[in-house]
Structure 1
Amino acid sequence: MSTSDERSHIAPLDGLRGAAACVVFFSHFQLFGLMQNRDGAFLGGTGVAVFFTLSGFLMSYLYLSRTFSFSSACSYAVSRFARIAPVYLFVVCASYAICATFDPQFIYAIDNHNLLRHLLFLGNVSVLWSIPPEVQFYVFFLLLWWATTQLAQRVFWPAAFVAGLTVLMLTVSQQVPGTTLPSKLSFFLLGTLVGLIRSRHPYLHLSPVVLGGLQFAALVLLIVFGYRLFNHEAMFASPLYILLSAVTVLLLSYGGGLGDILLGNPMMRTLGTWSFSLYLLHAPVLQAAERLVHEGELSQIAAIAGSVVVVLAISFASYSLIEKPCQFALRSLAGRLTRAFRHQTEEPAG
């Protein structure tokens, strides 16, 4: 395993990603009428907030310490594309086919009017709304990374440009659609900041008991405050909630505490590996379960239990058959192209 791969797998954060996907899944039981209690509905917003913060953290932790170059930028772009594009595009195309041929009421209502928008990672149907700000952040991070490298070389205007752009986006964050980067930029930025802190300070000189206590307190505060805010709009607009998300991710990134036990165990890390497929594929399963309950084919308890089993099974299948092979193929192709490019540029003339 390469150094970058080792750095990208902080055990509790792998588990946190899985937990975030699971709480989004859980929150949608109420949305589809499989649970009557609304107390868990806020968890969907909490899960998405954690996803956004984790993205900022990992981009900063993995890349900001490296020098920006054409080669490193291409490697970054391929890695990000390979991470989300294969299964996302599969879901979009499959949803379009299902809506056109079998079920016009399919949860991912993608038709001729919005197909191109979704293929360009700009869609807003159901849980797919969170993909556009994520992809837009990946592009913005390239600017941030380039400006950071230039700043280290005492070239200041790129940093000034990125700072001005950041201020502009934060200024309009409450006036733009929720599928745009400015509306969620605060989560990404604080995630980026704590990722940089974690990279510069790889160890916390605290006992496991103290660290575990801080991690537990951060998780409890994140959940309790999210419950009090309850709706997504209030969560994503709350500076305190944004700060809590970042602090929680930072504390859990340090090993040796409660985070290792709760989130760094093999089961949670496995869920983290499947998390993107779980996030994208759970809604169609819940829609099918809702219909079976409505038709009297299943009880609510059986529908909930069956949904959990089916979602886990298809998440595993999606990761094994789509995500993992496509990531390997795309990264291998990018590696060969990069080596060929270097060979051509380094080949002596004549």
Structure 2
Amino acid sequence: MRFNPYAPAFRQNPYPVYAALRAEPPVRSLGMWVLTRHADVVAVLRDRSFSAELIPDLVARHAGATDRILRLGRASLVFTDNPAHARLRALVNRAFTPAAVAELEPLVRRLARSLIGAGPQDLVAEVAGPLPVLVLCEWLGLPAELHPRVAGWTHEVRRLLEPGSLRGDDVARVAAVVEVFAAALSEVRAPGLLRELTLVQTSGGDRLTEEEIALLGVMCFVAGTETSAALIANAVLHAHGVAPSLVPAAVRETLRFDAPLQMTKRISTRDVEIGGAPIAAGDHVLLCLAGANRDPAVFPEPDVFDPTRDPGPHLGFGFGMHGCLGGALAEMQARAVLDEVVAARLAPVGEVRWQTESLIVRAPVALRLTAVVSAR
């Protein structure tokens, strides 16, 4: 079985390939072990001897990489191992609390209602894309003049998540954007998450530095906007006709059925066997989260979108110590938009084309909506 994530057919529908891979022992492709079974993916995510620092290390090899980019990786919960990860998590968790996220719901719903209005022509461009950016701008306390610039900065910086796609002077250009982005966030003094992070400290007196706070802010946008936009669009695509009472369950089922984050990487720091694969120290491992989410060993009839099912242990937000810190906020935004779409009786029309710019994110390029006319 060959695994080619660049194949046009895979980019449009990866699930038949994931199914075929699950039926065979893990394969090596493009210099990586490719894991698609739920048990195998969870085993790696649970095993802390698999390092998450792979991507910053790969970026560092590119010409144009700067010390600031390397520190961006070290200030990210996504790309750090313990003890650095535990330190950051202990500090960030003091401000990024469930109660703080819950307080954002009125803002999220107001923005969702405003963006949808009388019915957007393209849900992706007019609602799913802008909403996560606007929510984070408000929560972090960014001044209004920065709001129009943040989406462009974020799109550039997120290219660091896929270092294999970086070419020529890409890294130098992204490095320049990181400098501007971090500098802008360093100047924020208004009430919001960034200011709250300046106040938190551990019982031992540890605090985040000013640069760490700015870089954490950058990563909030990088990790929390395009994937949230993908979840919103995917949820509307698959669940636009659900009963209002099923909206929360439909969002959770979307995370399983068509995960916005399809895959992530790790590097093994020891010799180990996973699912019959003899993984050696230093080997790269590609974890196909979306493939694991359709494993029939865990999810009955996995290729059926069923919001009434027990969502089970889906990996739409990862698992373990690197599970998505902003998952609850992403779900909240998807629920708010889907509630509006269901209430307005809107439904997607036309052929769906899937984006091909990113290998790790799955989302429609556009999603045109129309009002559903009731049959008499």
- TM-score band by shorter chain is under 0.3
Query: Which structure has the highest strand share of the two?
Result: 2
Query: Which structure has the highest helix share of the two?
Result: 1
- Relative contact order (C-alpha < 8 Å, sep 6+): which is higher? 1
